[in-house]
Amino acid sequence: MHTEQAQRHFWLPIPNENVPGGLRHAFRGARWEGLASAEAVCGDLVAMAQPSELDWIYFPTCAECNSRLKGE
């Protein structure tokens, strides 16, 4: 069984300009490969950057990304 291969994803904290802090979005693929921007699982096109330790701790999980991954 290799079906999980097609559904690989990773999480990355993304600073948001519209709300304080940001959200931890899920992205397709095995890991972030340094792209400046990418489309999250929830459909948001976001600017990506190397997150800090604090981003991982304080940014909440994107509810839309989470529910879409659960639905797969």
The residue ranges that bind Zn ion (CB under 5 A) are 25, 40, 42, 62, 65
User: How is residue 56 written in tokens?
Assistant: 């991982």
CA distance 18 to 5: 34
Min dist. Cβ of residue 56 to Zn ion (A): 15
48 vs 62 by CB, closer to Zn ion: 62
Min dist. Cβ of residue 22 to Zn ion (A): 11
Min dist. Cβ of residue 51 to Zn ion (A): 14
Q: Which residues contact 8 (CB under 8 A, 6 or more apart)?
A: 28, 29, 30
